[in-house]
Amino acid sequence: MPGGSNCAIVGCHTLRAKCRGLSFHKLPKKGKNDVWRNDLIALIDRVDSSFNPDTATICSRHFKESCFVPTNNSHSTPDKDVYFKKKPHYLKPGSLPTEYMPQKSIVTHKPIPRKVPLPRDPPPLPSCVKYRNLSELKKDVCNPQCLPSPWCLLEVSENQIMVGMLNEKKTTVKLKLKISEDLKVSASMMENPIPNFNEIMENISIFKYLKSFSERTFCPGILDNNLQMYADSKYSDDQIYYKEFYIGSQETVIRSTKCEVLTKQTSTGFICKNCNYAKRLLNNKLLRAKSRDSKPLSKQDPLHKATREKIISQLKNARMETNYCQQQLKQFQSTLMTDSVELSYHLSQDLKNVIEHTDNELAKLFWEEQMKAFSIKEKGMRWHPMLIRLAILIRSRSPLAYDTLRKTGILKLPGASTLRDYTNVYESKEGFNESSIEELKRISQNFKSEEKFVILLHDEMMIKYDLVFNKTNGEVVGFINSHTWNEKLEKNIASHVLVFFVVGINTHINISLGFFGSINIASGDLFPLFWQAVGYLETDCSLKVIASTSDKASSNQKMYQMHKIDDNDEICFKCVNLFSPDRFIFFISDPPHLIKTVRNNILNSGYGQTHLLWNNGKEILWKHIFDVYNIDCQTETRQTKLTAEHVNLNNISKMNVRLAAQVLSFSVGTMMGARLGPEAEETTKLILLMNRFFDCLNVSSLLGGTYKCNSDLLPYTSLNDERFSFLENEVLGYFKEWKMNIEKRPGYFTNVQKSKMFISHQTFKGLEMTVKGFCGATRYLLSHGVPSVLSNNFCQDPLEEHFGRHRGLGQRSENPTLYAFGYQENKLRIQRSLALQLHPKGNIRRQNEIPVSINTSPLKKLKRV
C-alpha cells in the first residue's frame, strides 16, 4: 500500500479513494514529536518491508471523538508539524488509536515467579568410624609412617597406647598422650596431667589427630620469677592458680586452675585468658607486698612476717633517733643551766594558772611570750607577729602608757624603734597600695566562686590643710598629685583624702585599697580612678565587683550618670563590668545617708523654713515630731527614745545616723498616729515607711531578725522575697504618687513652690537608685550561688569605721595631714585584725564583735643600714 493511500492498521481495508467520509492522518515527522511517533508505531505493530512510518497513515475510524480538535470552516490550518492536516478534523497531540484495533489470536500471560527457597542447613555428614577398638588403632600406631614428626611411640600394651611429642632438641618428651581401651585420650605435659582434657579418637586417623596438635598453641603459663613465691604448689578446686613443677627440670610454672593448656591460637608465647587473669592477681599481690615492705614497722606488725633486712633497717633507724634525742636533751640541759631565770614558786604558779585556765587564745599567746621574754636577754627576743600587731595597737592608742609599761619592767614589750621598723616599711605615698593588693590576692586564692563577690566603697575624709617635708625622699607632702588628677590643674594643697575600700559580701574582707589627696574632686577625675580600682580587684585579685556604694555627693552622682547608655533614662543604677562583660556593677547611694537627708528634709519643713512638705492635702512638719517629744516627756513611762538631742539638732548631730534612725522609728510613728490624729497623718505615713525602708537595708546578722521578732531584719535568701516588692512598688510608688499629687494640687504654684512641697531632688534620685541597685545586685547574688545576703554590707559603715580609727590615732587632732594619713594606713593595715575589736570614733556604732584570730604570717620589716 504505497503512497499512504490506505490505513496502516493491520486488518483495516479503508482506502483514501473509496472512503470519502473518513480522514487519514500521517504519523509525526521524525525529530518533532518522537514520543508520540514511537507510541503510534508500537500500536501499528508491523514488521513487513512494505511498512514505511514516514508515509503511513491511520484512518479516523480508529480514534474516538474526543481525540479530535473541532475546527471552523476557515481554511487556516495549524502547524503541520503539530497536527495532521484533515479537512474537517485535526488530531490532538498525543492521541492514540483505540477503536477497531486487531486482536491477538493467542494471549500469553507472564508466568508467576517462583518463591525463593528458604535456606536450610546442610545435611549432616555420615559418621565415619575409623577405629572401632584399640586393636585396630595398634595396627596404625605400629606403622612408623602413621606417626608424624616429632611424635614417637612410647608404649603399647593390651590396655593402652602411649605416644609422645619430643621437644625441639628431641631430648625429652614434651607432651604425652595416653589412649585407653575405650579410645579416650588423656594428656600430660612434662609429667603433669592437663586438666579438663577429654577427647575421643574415633572418627579420625591417628596421623591426622597427631598432626592437629601442630596447629595448637601451648600455654606457657606464668614464668615470672618474681611471682613464683606467691603461688601455692598444691592444687585444689577452690584455688585460682597453682604452682607446677616439671619433672627432670628445675623450672616451675604458675598456671590457672582453669588453664587452657592447648588452645587453637596461632600466636607464639600466648598466655590463655585464665592464666592472664591469674597473673594480674599475682602482680597485685606483689605490689601490696612491696608497699608493705617499704613502710616502717609499726607496733602492731608481727615480726614473723617481716623480712630480716627490714628488721635490721628498722633497728638502725631506731638507734639513730635515740642518739639524736640524747644529743638534743644534753644541749637543752646545758642551755637551761646557763640562760634560765629562777622564778618564785608563787609567781610560777600564777603564770601557769593564767595560761592553763584562759580561753582567750590571744591572752594565752601573750603570757607565753612574756615567759619567753623574761627568760632571755632583751635584745635577743624574737617576737611573735601577733605580739607585734598588739604592741603597735597599744602604742598607737597611748604612746605614754606604752612606754611606762615597758620602762617599769611590768611587761616585756618591743621597743619604739622596733615598731617603727614595721610601720615605716612602706612609704607614705598616694595611690593604690601594692601590699593591700597582694594581701587580697593571697586571701582570695582559696575562695569559692560565690565567695569572691565584693563591694567597692569610696568616700572623702577631711584632713589638715598643711604641708609636711618627707626626710626619706626629700619631697613636700600635702599637694594633690597633679599626675593623678588633672595635668592642667595647679598644685594646690589637699584638703580632703579620697579612700577606696573593699568589703566582702559573705567574707570578712575589710581592706583599704588606696587613697588620694583631693580638693573638690570632679566626676571626670573620679571616673578613671574608679575603673582602675575595679581593674585591680577583677584582674589581679580575681575578685568580682558586684556593687559600688558612695554618698550623695554631686561628683559621685555625676560619675554614675556618665555610665548611662540611654539619655532618656533619668537615673543610672547599673553598668556593664568592663573587665567581665557578662556581669553588671550596681550603683547604690549609702542608705544611712538617705535616712539622714530625709530627716533633714522634715527638719527644714515648716512655716518660715526652706521647705513646706505637702502630700495628699496634709502637711509634713517637724513640729509634729517636736509635739511627740513633748507628749512623751510628760508620760511616766517613755514610749520613744527621743531626747532633746534628737529635736534640737546642730551641725554635728545632723550627721549622726543613730539620731536620724531613732527619729524615723516605728515607736515615733505609732505614737504620732495615736496622739496627734489626722493632722499628722502624712508625717506618720512617711516615718513608718522610712522605718521599714531602713530595716530592709540594714540587715546585719543572720539571727537578728529572729531575736527582735522583725521579719524585715532577716537575711535575704529567696528571689521571691516580699521585701523586693515593698522596696520597688511601695517605697518608690509612694514618692512617685507624692510627686503626682503636687502636680495635680489645685491652685497656681510656681516650680520653685512645688519643689519645696517635695523632698530634695538629690534625695529622691538617691532613693530610686539605691532601691533599684540593691534589688538588682541581691537578686544576682542569690541566683549565682550566694546562700544569703546581708543588706548592711551595701552600706558605708566599714569605711566610716576606717575614718574613725584614723581620727582616733590623731588623739586631740582628729584630722591628720596627708603625710600622717599614709603612715596611719600602714599601722591600721598591720593591726587590722585587732583594731576591729575597738569602737572607732565616728557617727556609726558596731553591733557585732568579730573574734580575734591568731595571725602567724610574718610582717615585713625595714632593714637598718
Q: In the chain, what's the furthest Cα-to-Cα distance?
A: 164
Say what the pLDDT of residue 193 is.
75
Q: Distance between CA 735 and CA 570 in Å, rounded?
A: 15
Picking from 767, 787, 765, the residue whose alpha carbon sits closest to that of residue 778 is 787
Would 547 be classed as within a structural domain? yes
In this structure, are 662 and 761 located in the same domain? yes
Q: Is the peptide bond before 102 cis (omega within 30 degrees of 0)?
A: no
- Report how far Cα 28 is from the mean position of its chain's Cα atoms: 81
Picking from 644, 567, 598, the residue whose alpha carbon sits closest to that of residue 770 is 598
Would 780 be classed as within a structural domain? no
DSSP 530: H
Would 702 be classed as within a structural domain? yes
In this structure, are 606 and 744 located in the same domain? yes
Range of the domain at 538: 431-590+796-830
In this structure, are 742 and 615 located in the same domain? yes
Task: Indicate the burial class of 791 (C-beta count within 10 angstroms; 0-12, 13-18, 19 or more).
Answer: buried
In this structure, are 553 and 613 located in the same domain? no
Say what the pLDDT of residue 836 is.
45
Say what the pLDDT of residue 837 is.
46
In this structure, are 762 and 621 located in the same domain? yes
pTM listed for this prediction: 0.55
Residue 512 β-bridge partners? 501
- Report how far Cα 210 is from the mean position of its chain's Cα atoms: 69
Q: What is the pLDDT of residues 458-508, one digit of tens each?
A: 998 888 766 554 445 545 555 555 444 444 444 567 788 899 999 999 888
Among 185, 215, 245, give the residue marking a domain's end. Answer: 215
Would 305 be classed as within a structural domain? no
In this structure, are 616 and 759 located in the same domain? yes
Would 778 be classed as within a structural domain? no
Say what the pLDDT of residue 201 is.
75
Q: Look up residue 673 and give its three cell numbers.
A: 498616729
Phi, psi of 854 (to 5 degrees): -70, 120
Say what the pLDDT of residue 335 is.
78
Would 316 be classed as within a structural domain? no
Give the number of domains in the chain: 5
In this structure, are 240 and 189 located in the same domain? no
Would 127 be classed as within a structural domain? no
Q: Distance between CA 700 and CA 551 in Å, rounded?
A: 19
Give pLDDT < 50 ranges for the chain. 1-3, 73-87, 125, 127, 247-249, 266-268, 469-471, 474, 482-490, 835-847
Would 386 be classed as within a structural domain? no
In this structure, are 551 and 626 located in the same domain? no
Say what the pLDDT of residue 356 is.
65
In this structure, are 522 and 557 located in the same domain? yes
Cα–Cα distances in Å, from 773 out to 556, 572, 596? 15, 9, 20
In this structure, are 31 and 153 located in the same domain? no
In this structure, are 617 and 597 located in the same domain? yes
Among 236, 264, 293, give the residue marking a domain's end. Answer: 293
Among 215, 234, 262, give the residue marking a domain's end. Answer: 215
In this structure, are 169 and 254 located in the same domain? no
Which letter, b or e, does each residue of 390-406 get, where b requires 16 or more Cβ atoms within 10 Å of its Cβ? bbbbbbbeeeeebeebb
Q: Distance between CA 446 and CA 442 in Å, rounded?
A: 8
Say what the pLDDT of residue 79 is.
44
Say what the pLDDT of residue 850 is.
53
**Cβ–Cβ contacts within 10 Å for residue 449, how many?**
10
- Report how far Cα 88 is from the mean position of its chain's Cα atoms: 92
